[in-house]
Every structure is written in C-alpha cells, then in structure tokens.
Amino acid sequence: MPKTNRRDFLKLGGLALAGPLVATGPGTAKARTEKLPDYGMEKRVPVNCRMCAQKCPGLARVVDGRLVGIEANPHSVMPGVCGRSVAAAGMVYNPNRIQTPLIRVGERGEGRFRRATWPEALDMVADRLKKYREQGTPEAVAVLTRFHGAPGVDNEVFKVFGTPNFPGYADTCWANSRAVGAGVIYGPFKHGLPGCSPSKISVDFVKAKYGVLIGRNPAGGLVCYPWAMKFAKGKRNGLKLTVIDPRKPSEAGEDNVHWLPIRPASDLAFLLGLFHELMKNKSYEPEYLRKYTNAPMLVDSTTLQPAGVREIEKVEKGKKVKILDYLVYDEAAGEVRFASEAEKPALNGTYDVTFGDRAFKAVTALDRIARELENYTPEWAEGKSDVPAKEIRKIARELDRNRPHAFIDPTYRSERYFNSFKMIQVICMMNVLIGAFGREGGIIWNHSTKPGKLIHPPKAQAESIGEYYARHDPNFRFGNTHYYRHKAVETVLTEKPYPIKAMVFNGSNLLGGSAGGTEIVQALKKLEFTVCISPFFNETTLYADVILPDATFVERDEAINGKYKFEVPGVTINMKAIEPLFDVKSPYWISLELARRILTPEEYATHFKPFEEGGIELLWEKQLEGIKGVPAGEKAKITTDYLREFGVWNGQAPTPRPKAKTPTRKLELFSTFLARQYDELQAADDSNAVVANPLPVWQPAKWMTEKKELAKDEFIPVTGFAPVNSFTGQQTKDNRLLANVGEAISWDAVFINAAKGKSLGLRDGDMVTIWNPDNKLEQNARVILSELVHPDAMFSYYGAGPGAFKKLNRFYTNAPKTGFNPNHSAPFHYSPLVGGHAAHDYVVKIRRA
Ligand SMILES: Nc1nc2c(c(=O)[nH]1)N[C@H]1C(S)=C(S)[C@@H](COP(=O)(O)OP(=O)(O)OC[C@H]3O[C@@H](n4cnc5c(=O)[nH]c(N)nc54)[C@H](O)[C@@H]3O)O[C@H]1N2
Ligand SMILES: Nc1nc2c(c(=O)[nH]1)N[C@H]1C(S)=C(S)[C@@H](COP(=O)(O)OP(=O)(O)OC[C@H]3O[C@@H](n4cnc5c(=O)[nH]c(N)nc54)[C@H](O)[C@@H]3O)O[C@H]1N2
Ligand code: SF4
Ligand SMILES: [Mo]
C-alpha cells in the first residue's frame, strides 16, 4: 500500500523551490474500480461529487489519465448523478482555476496578486497566524469551512492551534429557520436546543399521492441525485403537486403541477389559512394524534404553559434518559393524569386541573390551536398572500383526501425572511396534524452513518463566539452554535466578545453567500490577515492576502463520508482519479504543511505525524473502526477494499415510524420548548415573544413592517437554483460545458412580472440597474418580462452573475459578465431569535441602465 511520501515533505521543508512540486499528498491510494465493466481504455474511480455540496456517489471516468466525465455508480441504491457532475471536466480543465499560490499586491478588494511558491505562501500564512497563538489569543483566528477538501484533518489543524471559532455557512442555508422550526416539532434536541437539519428527514416522494411545495424546488435545487430520482419516480407514480412560489419553477414539471403565485414572504399567511381549513374539517386521525403526538396535552389557555409537567426516566437504546411527562385528561379513568399513565387521552375539552398548589381550567393543545386558527380564514390569507381563498380550500381538500400519503414539504433552504422560522414551524405542525409524519408517502426520518476519527484535538480554552452569542444575545437565543458566519462578521466589526483578527476561508465564500455585502467588505478590510484555500476565485478571494489553491475532488483522496441524505444509511468514498493539474496541491498535504509550520513539534508529532506516516489509508481505517450507524452484522464487510471496489455501501431502509425525538418523545403539535421560551420572553416584555409563540400565529416579514405597499419600481429579490448552477462556485458558472445551458435559461437575468415591467417602460432584454435605496450599491442585469412571476417579486437564479463585484470578470471567461446577487446589496441583519441571514427581506428598486 503506498504510504506518505516522506521525501516530498522533506523537500519542501528545506529550500524554497522555484518550480512546481510533484508532491500530491499523503497516502495516495489506489482505486480498484477498474474492475467494474468498462469499455476498453477507461478507468472508473469512485468519487463523491462536489460540483455542488451534496457528495453524490459517482464514478469518475478516466481515459489516459484525463477525466472525461462522471457517471452513476451502479452499486448505489439509487444510482445517478446530475448534469453538473457530468460536466466536471469543464471545471477541472478550466485554465481560469487558480494555478499557483498567490500573494496580494494591490489593496484588498482590487484582486491583484503575484504568483508565489508553496513554501513562501505557506510560511507567510504560518508566520501571520502563529502570532495570535504566541500572544495567547488563538481564538482571534476564525476558520470558515464549507467546500473543504480535507475533512478529518483540515479543521483539526486549527483545533489543535486552539481556536474554538469555526463559523459555518449554514446561517445562509438551513441552520436556523429550518433546523429550529422543524426541530421544535419533530426533534432532535442537542444540549437542550432543537435542530432538525434537512439531511435528517426527507419527503417520501415515491409513495406520496399529493403534496405542496412551498419555497422548495426538488427538481431545480435537487439537493442530491437520489432525492431528485425519488421526486421523478413519485411524479411517474402519479404524485400530484401544488407549487406555491412567487415564480413558476418550470423545473418542477409542467404537466401535473398546479402553480399558484404568492407574494414574497407571505407564505406564513397562506399556511395559516390552510391550517384553518384543515382544522375546521378535522383532517386528522384521532388515534394517530392520541398515540404519537402531544395534541391531548392540557395547557393554560392564556399563558400557553402546559398545565403540569414532570420528568420521568425511560430506557432508550440501553441508556437511561429523562423525558418530559405532561397532564392530559384520561377518558378511560375519567380524570386528569400524566400522559405516561393515561389509557385514552382526550383530544378535546376544557378540564379542571389541580397541580401543585394551583387549581385552574386547562384546555387540550388541539383545542387551543383550533381556537387560535379561527382568526385565520382563507379570505384573510388571500388578502395577505394573493393566493385565492377557493384555492386554499381546494388544497385543504386534496390534503384531506390523500392523507397520510400527503405532505407539505418542510423546505430545505430556509433563510429568507424574518418570518421564515414561523413558516416552517407551521408547516411541520400541519404535517403532524394530517398524520403524515413518519408515514409512507409523508415525511420520513433519514439514516446516516458516522465514521470515526483519527485526530482528537483538545478542547479550546476560549468559548466560541457562536456559543457566547447563543447564551448572551437575547436576539440569538436559538442561534446555531456551529453556523454563524454572520455573527463572525459582527465580531470583527465590534470586537465583542473578543476581537477576531484573522480569517481562514476554506471553500467558503462569505462575501458571495451571506447577506450584508457592505458590512462584510468593511470586516474583510479590517481583518489583519485573510487566507483563502480554494481552487477558484470568488468574491472573498478578492480580499485575500494569500490564496492557496487546493486540488479539486477528482484530484484528491478524501475521508470516508457517511452523510448520504437518504432514508437508507450509506458509506461512500472519494478517491483520486487524476493527478492534480498546474501547481495545485492535495488539501491533506496543505493541512499537514500548515500543521508543521503553525504547531509545536510535539503537537505535530502527537496529532499529525500518524497521518503523515499512515496516510489516507490510516484515516480510512480509523474511520471504519469507529463507524456508527452501521448494523453490527454489516460492519466487518465494509472495509477499505470493499469501498475501493464498489465505492459505496448501502444498508436497508427501516419502515417509516412516527417516532419523535423531542423532550416529550411525542410529535409536538404544541412545542413545549417554545412554550417555555415564550414564557420567558413575555416576562421580559420582549417584542420577539411572537416568534416563540407555540401557537400558529401571524408574524410579518421585516419589509412588511417598514412599508405598507411596494411602489411601482420596487420588488422583493427572490432567488432559486437552476439545475445547471451551484451557488457562487466557479465550478459551474465558469464551466464551458454548462455555459450554453445557462445562457439558454437566462441564468444571468432578473425576471419580473411583464405587466409591471411594461408599466415601468421596460422591454424584454433591457439592461437594468438594481439597487437597495438604503445603501445605493448598484448592480446590473438583463431583465426578462414574464407572465410567470408575481408582481412583487424580482426573481434571479442564485449565484451565476458577478453582482456588485465586477472585478471577478477578470478571472472568468465563460461566466456571465452581469447578473444580480441579492446578498451584495442586502442589509446586514438576521432573523430574530434564530439568526438566519434573511437574504431576501428587503426592497430593491430597478430602472433601465
Ligand atoms: N441570496 C442567496 N444567498 C444564498 C443562497 C441563495 O439561494 N440565495 N444559497 C445559500 C446556500 S443554500 C448555501 S449552502 C450557501 C453556500 O455557501 P457559500 O460558502 O456561499 O458557498 P459557495 O458560493 O459555493 O462558495 C464556496 C466556495 O468554495 C470554493 N470551492 C469549490 N470546491 C472547492 C474545493 O474542493 N476546495 C476548496 N477549498 N474550495 C472549493 C468555490 O470556489 C466557492 O467559491 O450560500 C447561501 N447563500
Ligand atoms: N442545481 C442546484 N441544486 C442544488 C444546489 C445548487 O447550488 N444548485 N444547492 C443545494 C443546496 S446547498 C440547497 S440548500 C438546496 C436548496 O434547495 P431549495 O430549497 O429547493 O432551493 P431554492 O431553489 O433556493 O428555492 C426553492 C424555491 O423557492 C422559491 N422561493 C423563493 N422565495 C420564495 C418565497 O418567498 N415564497 C415561496 N413560496 N417560494 C419562494 C424559489 O423561486 C424556488 O423555486 O439545493 C441543493 N441543490
Ligand atoms: S446533486 Fe449533482 S452536482 Fe450535486 S453532488 Fe449530486 S451529482 Fe454532484
Ligand atoms: Mo444550502
């Protein structure tokens, strides 16, 4: 087995080398998939596609050492890769990739760099970062990772360095409204906080009969190929869909899709109208609600607190755990009892309760919710959302007719508006009411595996700023302590709770992907040092002091991956298919070189020497040794050799169950977590109490509180993904093989309602200027006048154009030269309590350029 090539390390440790190095990284492993059937010359190597973020298992096709494409891995339970993956060669052989390490020469933001050797660039990074450690403040360095190439090793370098600050990207994606909104109803909870990431559950499209997509487009933003396949299969099986979207997403399929345009950010109103109908029509199975949900929980009608709770012990998976028991009215016993002791908890009614020294009346959660919903008629919802009341009634009937094989998709990318959290809370409550959660054709739990680790860094001394804000910032109460890019920027600007002075961007585009361009630029200018590890240029690299180009996924071996985003557990591997091009290096090699330079020799010897010597093979061995989530009988089978040969292991999908991972272990139609938070916020007279209300209640988006109505030239900037693009990443937008399709769908344009556009004197194809009156930053794009966009919405495909940073055009040839990015102009704000970047909760103006 080839191990780490020690000579390469020695070479680099010595004299600075002028020319490119041949070293490619530790433990370059050999793939066996050549054994799979091929057509003569081709070799097939298992990879986890990274053309977007989802790591679908595929096979890289290599002819004479060159990548010709990626195709489905037939050993996967749902084989398939999407068109972006097929076009991977357009990323790899793009001369616009960053070819050598670069060091800034001009001002930050000018995007002027000189070429450097690896030793010079690595030494500079190490010297500049080491300083903070020597001063005793390693926490002044924040490490922002997303598309990182050396999982299992790269972040570990900085963990041993001593920083606790790894502000993840997902406050722009799912980590707030979605994770908390679904978590409060379904679970799971970790350290007392709810967090249901989108990889934890999925919609059973294959068996579903009817569904509502609202703020979700599984055919455009595929998520991962298996999900897209399930969606397509469901549609072939006759799945009927209603799509609620400010624009018609043609990717969802034209034939059996019913599209209803909605005013941006008014989804919550539509949903409340729908919930009103479902409740009025009693669209539920009493037995499901009694058995699996806390609908019978008795609550105080005005304070919204459970009438009485206690903690009881239960054994789960051999471990004692505490669960929350609550009072219900037991119809069998004819008295109020704890749920754990009740035989037939009542779903409806008001009862006399004596608990502790209080005697009072309490109502069932179901009745209390129903009472609240009386306010939100379909007519009220129509007034706010523009979705006709009769359509809302029709959707309610369809859900009722098809339940439980019906769903309202709990969304994926959720951080759009101040009220996105409430929207998702309400969606998840409705899926519980109609009995769709944990049922075939409804919402089901996914199963992933968790590989073990090779490197075990000590815990940092300082508290991370994410944890700090979650504990001390009342507005970031439910904020995610792993994903807080926004708060990292705030810390740079305010230096609270302590200064952040340097940032390491490892496959993360803060300036392109997060709302608040003006403030982010201020922060990037203020930092003492910035390094970007990325194969491609992006907005953030314009502000880098040093850029280190790492190899792309087909040019490197990678840690084993267990997140398969699927109800079927999986283990997948990514192996080097081709030699790295230009003077780029394996990200594992880069990590070791940084570790060697930044850490003490003792630390290096303890934590990284084993990897240097054992290479990726050792990492894989340790990962497989410590893997969790694989049935005992299967564990022995999944060896490195097995993965080398097949690329993927899949387990069996368990039968869907309405199992809850909440404090009560019931699907919490009435969230006990929110009730407690609501109580505290009410007591503190906090205006954000409405956000924590466990009941389905209306909360306006931020722009609605600032403006009564939009003027003729004003729009809310909404985005969506196209099947050809992937965020702001150059891997798709500057890709020759995708550019034509991108042009064909006008991925660089903004789409507005035809009548409204005409009233502004605009013609189809005009170049327009778009700006936020609050910061005046101007952007240009072509405008397309369309019947298929709500008058208040300005739609753009996210991430294809350069937005306000036209300097990027110098680094690309195939990408559009104009195109709007709402993040660049967006205010620097975040949604109350949960902390999502609320990228679309503001108003833009347009005029002909
Ligand atoms: N307005 C608006 N904002 C959004 C979204 C939206 O739809 N609208 N989408 C949001 C979502 S869902 C997400 S997940 C985030 C994305 O989070 P971002 O961090 O904003 O993601 P990208 O824009 O893809 O930028 C990541 C960078 O990693 C680099 N990269 C690609 N491959 C590699 C690699 O192998 N190694 C290294 N080191 N670097 C690599 C790419 O050049 C790219 O510039 O953006 C969010 N922001
Ligand atoms: N092609 C492609 N697929 C991807 C990715 C990619 O970059 N490219 N990225 C992956 C990632 S990280 C993610 S998070 C997922 C995201 O997957 P999705 O969450 O499905 O992503 P989007 O396409 O951003 O948004 C879905 C729909 O919401 C609509 N929408 C926007 N604003 C509103 C609104 O106010 N109300 C309503 N009702 N609808 C609205 C958009 O028009 C769009 O059709 O996609 C994943 N898959
Ligand atoms: S969805 Fe497509 S681009 Fe994204 S990882 Fe899967 S195959 Fe690759
Ligand atoms: Mo995302």
Residue with tokens 């990962």: 623
Q: List the one residue out of 245, 277, 281 whose CA is nearest residue 264.
A: 245
Query: What is the dihedral sign for C-alpha 212, 215, 219, 225?
Result: negative
Angle between helices 365-373 and 267-280 (to 10 degrees): 120
Take residue 223 and report the two structure tokens written for it. 């998520």
Site residues for ligand 2, CB cut-off 6 Å: 52-53, 173-174, 214-217, 220-223, 244-247, 249, 262, 264-265, 267, 411-413, 416, 718-723, 725-727
CB 560 within 8 A of CB 628: no
For the CA of 726, the closest atom of ligand 1 is 24
Distance 52 CA to ligand 3 centre (A): 5
Q: What angle do CA 120, 102, 154 make, to 5 degrees?
A: 75
Helix (H) or strand (E) holding 47: strand 43-48
Residue 468 has φ and ψ, to the nearest 5°, of -60, -50
Q: Is 175 helix (H, G, I), strand (E, B) or coil?
A: coil
pLDDT at 28: 52
**Of the candidates 705, 216, 168, which has an alpha carbon nearest to the alpha carbon of residue 416?**
216
Contacts 24+ apart (CB under 8 A), 682-690: 684/474, 686/474, 688/474, 688/475, 688/832, 688/833
pLDDT at position 440 is 96
Q: Nearest Cα to 166, choosing from 577, 439, 487?
A: 487
CA R_g for the chain: 27
- Among the residues of 514-639, which ranges form H helices? 517-526, 587-598, 601-603, 609-625, 632-635
- Residue 565's Cβ-side half-sphere holds a number of Cα atoms within 13 Å equal to 20
739 with 724: CB under 8 angstroms? Answer: no
Using CA atoms of 297, 302, 304, 306 in order, give the dihedral in degrees to the nearest 10. Answer: -40
Beta strands in 576-713 (DSSP E): 648-650
DSSP secondary structure string for all residues of 678-740: HHHHHHTT-TTHHHH-SS------HHHHH-SS--TTEEEEEEE--TT--TT-HHHHT-HHHHH
**Closest ligand 2 atom to Cα of 220:** 1
Ligand approaching nearest to the C-alpha of 251: 2
DSSP state of 155: H
SS (H, E, C) 333-348: CCEEEEHHHCCCECCC
Give the 3-state secondary structure of residue 61: strand
In 3-state terms, what secondary structure has residue 393? Answer: helix
Ligand 1 centre to CA of 583 (Å) is: 23
198 Cα: distance to centroid of ligand 4 (angstroms): 9
* Distance (Å, whole) CA 43 – CA 45: 7
The residue ranges of every structural domain in the chain are 178-447+663-692, 702-848
One-letter identity of residue 60: A
What's 605's DSSP letter? I
Nearest to 669 by CA among 353, 306, 357, 379: 306
- Asked if 102 contacts 113 with a C-beta cutoff of 8 angstroms, the reply is yes
At 783, which amino acid appears?
A: V
User: Which residues, including other chains, have CB under 8 Å from residue 584's CB and lie 6 or more apart?
Assistant: 97, 98, 99, 535, 549, 550, 551, 555
Q: Which residue has the tokens 């009694």?
A: 290
Q: Closest residue (by CA) to atom 32 of ligand 1?
A: 147
**Residue 454 DSSP label:** S
Atom of ligand 2 nearest to the CA of 53: 12
Tell me how crowded residue 741 is: count the other CB atoms within 10 A of its CB: 17
Distance 252 CA to ligand 2 centre (A): 12
As beta bridge partners, residue 32 has none
Tokens in use for 257? 């899709």
The number of the ligand 3 atom at minimal distance from the alpha carbon of 51 is: 3
Characterise 441 by phi-psi region: left (phi > 0), alpha (psi -120 to 50), beta (else): left
Query: Which pair of structure tokens corresponds to residue 146?
Result: 């997303």
Q: Could you report how far apart the first and last alpha carbons of the chain are, in Å?
A: 61
CATH class of the domain defined by 178-447+663-692? alpha beta
Q: What is the DSSP string of 299-324?
A: E-TTT--BS-EEEEEEEETTEEEEEE
* Residue stretches of the chain with pLDDT short of 50: 1-27, 34, 38
Angle between helices 465-472 and 485-494 (to 10 degrees): 90
What is d(CA 510, CA 524) in angstroms, rounded to the nearest whole number?
A: 10
Instruction: Give, for ligand 1, the residue of 565, 727, 798 to mutate: max count of ligand atoms closer than 8 Å to Cβ.
Output: 727
Ligand 3 contacts CB of residue 724 (under 6 A): no
How many beta carbons lie within 10 A of that of residue 685, not counting itself? Answer: 7
DSSP 361: E
Task: Just give the CATH number of 702-848.
Answer: 2.40.40.20
Let me know: does 703 contact 62? Beta carbons within 8 Å.
Answer: no
- Residue identifier of the C-alpha nearest atom 1 of ligand 3: 224
Structure letter (DSSP) for residue 437:
B
Inter-CA distances, 440 with 85, 808, 826, Å = 31, 47, 41
Record the tokens describing residue 344, joined without a space.
Answer: 């037939």
Q: How high is the pLDDT of residue 223?
A: 74
Report H helices in 224-282: 225-236, 267-280
Angle (CA) 344-345-351 rounded to 5° is 130
Query: Which residue(s) pair with 243 in the sheet?
Result: 213, 259
What is the Cα 491 distance to its own chain's centre? 22
Q: Cβ contacts of residue 342 below 8 Å, gap of 6+?
A: 296, 328, 329, 330, 332, 333
State in Å: Cα 818 to ligand 3 middle. Answer: 26
Question: What pTM was estimated for this model as a whole?
Answer: 0.95
| pLDDT confidence of residue 19 | 30
Under 8 Å between Cβ of 803 and 819 = yes
Three-state SS at 645: helix
Taking Cα atoms as reference points, which of 424, 405, 421, 426 lies closest to residue 203?
A: 405
Spatial separation of the C-alpha atoms in residues 690 and 451, rounded to whole Å: 40
How far away, in angstroms, is 732 Cα from ligand 1 center? 11
Q: How distant, in Å, are the alpha carbons of 211, 339, 460, 632, 642 from that of 158?
A: 45, 48, 10, 34, 32
Burial of 54 (0-12, 13-18, 19+ CB in 10 A): buried
Instruction: Give the model's pLDDT for residue 96.
Output: 97
Q: Tens digits of per-residue pLDDT, 674-715?
A: 999 999 999 999 999 999 999 999 999 999 999 999 999 999
Peptide bond into 663 cis (omega under 30): no
Q: How far apart are CA 748 and CA 780, in angstroms?
A: 10
Does the beta carbon of 88 lie inside 6 Å of ligand 3?
Answer: no
Is the sign of the CA dihedral 360, 366, 372, 374 positive or negative? negative
- String of DSSP letters for 751-805: EEEHHHHHHTT--TT-EEEEE-TTT--EEEEEEEEETTB-TTEEEEETTSS-TT-
Per-residue pLDDT at 8: 35
Sheet containing strand 43-48, edge to edge, reads 43-48, 57-63, 66-72
Ligand nearest the Cα of residue 82 is: 3
Query: Exposed, middle or buried: residue 609 (CB in 10 Å: 0-12, 13-18, 19+)?
Result: middle
Residue pair 495/142 in contact by the 8 Å Cβ criterion:
no
Name the residue among 420, 499, 246 with its Cα closest to residue 830: 420
Distance 170 CA to ligand 4 centre (A): 7
Asked whether 84 lines ligand 3 (CB < 6 A), one says yes
In this structure, the number of other CB atoms found within 10 A of the CB of residue 251 comes to: 18
Q: What are the pocket residues of ligand 1 if the criterion is a CB atom closer than 6 Å to any ligand atom?
A: 50, 53, 146-149, 169, 172-173, 413, 506-509, 512-513, 533-536, 538, 550, 552-553, 719, 727-731, 798-799, 822-823, 839
Which pairing describes strands 502-506 and 141-145: parallel, antiparallel, or unpaired? Answer: parallel
